[in-house]
C-alpha cells in the first residue's frame, strides 16, 4: 500500500507517517508533500493507493487538491485530516468521494482506526 | 460585533481539548486572567475570520516553554524519541494553535456560526502586522511545568 501525506505542518506529516509505519506500511511506501501543487505532481508520479490531505494550506487548499485528483480520473482512496472539519467541508468531501474526515486534534488511535477501516 | 469575552470560553475549551488529546495533559485549568500582553511574545498567532468580526488568538510561553511543549507534542503523538531531531518548534506551536482554533470553529459551526481559520504565524519575540484590540490573556496551569498563555482578541489591521 502506498500513501501520500499532504499537510503544510511538518509535525502533522511526522505523526501521520509514523502512524502509517506502525500499521506495517514500509517507509518507502509513504511520501509527503507540504502543499497541494507538489501533491498533484506526486499523485501522478508516485500513484498512491491512499491520499491523506489537510484542508487549510497556502496556495491550493486540500479540497481543491481532492477536486483536481478526482477530475483527473482513477483517484486513489482519499481521507481528509483537518482542523476545519465543518459541515461545509464534510459535504464537499462527501461529494468528491472522500472516505473519512478526521478532525484535529485526534488521538493516534483515532487515526489508526480510520486507516485500518479503509486499508 | 461580538465582544471577545463572549467567545473566550470556546477557546478555553479548545485549549484544554488540544493539550489533552495532543500532549496528554488532563488537568489543565485557567490560573489567571489579565488584559495586558507582554512586550516579548514567543509562540504563534492565528486569525479567525467571520462575517461579524475578525478574531485573533496567540499561544505563547517563554522560549524554553515552547521547546518543551513541542517536544511533548511529538513524543505523545508518536511515542518515538528518535524523531525529536526533526522537531520544529515554530511548526509545532503553529499547529497546536491551529487545533485550538479548529475546536472553536467546529463547535461554532454546530451552532450555525461560520468562522474560518487563517494560517498560523510564528512569533519570535515581536508581534507585527496586527494590533490586538481588547485582549483577554489566559494563563494556564497543568501544561507541564510551562507558563503557557492564550490571548484572545479582536483584530485591527495596522493600517486601520
Does B15 score more than 50 pLDDT?
yes
DSSP string computed for B29-80: EEEEEES---SSEEEEEEEEE-SS-EEEEEEEE-HHHHHHHHHHHHHHHH--
pLDDT at B1: 44
Does B157 score more than 70 pLDDT?
no
Q: What residues in A contact B114, CB-CB < 8 Å? A: 86, 88
Q: What is the ipTM of this complex?
A: 0.95
* Interchain pair A9, B86: CB under 8 A: no
Which stretches does DSSP call E strand in B67-126? 116-117, 121-125
pLDDT at B51: 83
pLDDT at B158: 55
Summarize the confidence of residues B124-149 as an average pLDDT. 92
Q: Collect all residues from B whose CB is shorter than 8 A from any CB in A.
A: 17-18, 21-22, 70, 73-74, 77-80, 83, 86, 88, 91-92, 94-95, 98-99, 101-103, 105-106, 109, 114, 116-117, 119
Å between A53 CA and nearest CA of chain B: 15
Integer angstrom CA distances of residue A17 from A33, B17, B52: 12, 23, 39
**E strand or H helix at A98, and its extent?**
none
* Interchain pair B91, A15: CB under 8 A: no
> What does the pLDDT look like over B80-129, one tens digit per residue?
889 889 899 999 999 999 999 999 999 999 999 999 999 999 999 998 87
Q: Determine the Cα–Cα distance for residues A18 and A14; give it in Å rounded to an integer.
A: 6
Q: Best of A13, A16, A83 to disrupt the B interface by mutation (most B CBs within 10 Å)?
A: A83
Does B33 score more than 80 pLDDT?
yes
- Asked if A6 and A55 touch (Cβ cutoff 8 Å), the reply is no
> What does the pLDDT look like over A25-53, one tens digit per residue?
999 999 999 999 999 999 999 999 999 99
Interface of A with B in 31-60 (CB under 8 A): 56, 58
Q: Name the band, by pLDDT with cuts 50, 70 and 90, for residue B70.
A: very high
Q: Determine the Cα–Cα distance for residues A64 and B49; give it in Å rounded to an integer.
A: 20
pLDDT at A21: 92
Among candidates A9, A104, A107 on the partner chain, residue whose Cβ is nearest the Cβ of B91: A9
Among candidates A14, A85, A88 on the partner chain, residue whose Cβ is nearest the Cβ of B74: A14
> What does the pLDDT look like over A46-95, one tens digit per residue?
999 999 999 999 999 999 999 999 999 999 999 999 999 999 999 999 99
Considering only alpha carbons, which residue of chain A is nearest residue B118?
Answer: A56
pTM of the model: 0.95
Q: Determine the Cα–Cα distance for residues B74 and B92; give it in Å rounded to an integer.
A: 8
Q: Determine the Cα–Cα distance for residues B151 and B130; give it in Å rounded to an integer.
A: 13
Q: Best of A11, A59, A103, A110 to disrupt the B interface by mutation (most B CBs within 10 Å)?
A: A11
Q: What residues in A contact B101, CB-CB < 8 Å? A: 83
Q: What residues in A contact B99, CB-CB < 8 Å? A: 83, 104-105
Rg over alpha carbons for chain B, rounded to the nearest Å, is 15
Cα dihedral B154→B156→B157→B160 (10° resolution)? 170
Q: Would you call A52 helix, strand, or coil by DSSP?
A: strand
* Interchain pair B119, A12: CB under 8 A: no
- Map grid coordinates 494590533 to a residue: B131
Sign of the Cα torsion B104, A100, B19, A15 reads negative
Helices (H), ranges, chain A = 10-22, 36-46, 62-71, 87-95, 108-118
Burial class of residue A44, CB neighbours in 10 A (0-12, 13-18, 19+): exposed
Amino acid at each position: 500500500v502506498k500513501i501520500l501525506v499532504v499537510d503544510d505542518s511538518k509535525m502533522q506529516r511526522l505523526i501521520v507517517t509514523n502512524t502509517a509505519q506502525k500499521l506495517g506500511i514500509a517507509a518507502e511506501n509513504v511520501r509527503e508533500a507540504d502543499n497541494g501543487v507538489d501533491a498533484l505532481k506526486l499523485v501522478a508520479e508516485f500513484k498512491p493507493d491512499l491520499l491523506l490531505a489537510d484542508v487549510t494550506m497556502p496556495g491550493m487548499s486540500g479540497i481543491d487538491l481532492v477536486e483536481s485528483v478526482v477530475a483527473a480520473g482513477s483517484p486513489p482512496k482519499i481521507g481528509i485530516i483537518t482542523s476545519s472539519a465543518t459541515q461545509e467541508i464534510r459535504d464537499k468531501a462527501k461529494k468528491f468521494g472522500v472516505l473519512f474526515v478526521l478532525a484535529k486534534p485526534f488521538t493516534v488511535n483515532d487515526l489508526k482506526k480510520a486507516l485500518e477501516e479503509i486499508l | 460585533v461580538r465582544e471577545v469575552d463572549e467567545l473566550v470560553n470556546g477557546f478555553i475549551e479548545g485549549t484544554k481539548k488540544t493539550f489533552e488529546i495532543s500532549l496528554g495533559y488532563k488537568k489543565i485549568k485557567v490560573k489567571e486572567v489579565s488584559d495586558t500582553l507582554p512586550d516579548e511574545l514567543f509562540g504563534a498567532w492565528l486569525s479567525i475570520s467571520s462575517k461579524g468580526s475578525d478574531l485573533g488568538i496567540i499561544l505563547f510561553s517563554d522560549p524554553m516553554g515552547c521547546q518543551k511543549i513541542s517536544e511533548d507534542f511529538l513524543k505523545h503523538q508518536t511515542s518515538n524519541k528518535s524523531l525529536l531531531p526533526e522537531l520544529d518548534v515554530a511548526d509545532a506551536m503553529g499547529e497546536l494553535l491551529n487545533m485550538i482554533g479548529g475546536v472553536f470553529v467546529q463547535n461554532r459551526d454546530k451552532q450555525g456560526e461560520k468562522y474560518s481559520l487563517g494560517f498560523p504565524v510564528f512569533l519570535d519575540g515581536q508581534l507585527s502586522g496586527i494590533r490586538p484590540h481588547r485582549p483577554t490573556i489566559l494563563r494556564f496551569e497543568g501544561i507541564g511545568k510551562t507558563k503557557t498563555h492564550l490571548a484572545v482578541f479582536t483584530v485591527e489591521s495596522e493600517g486601520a
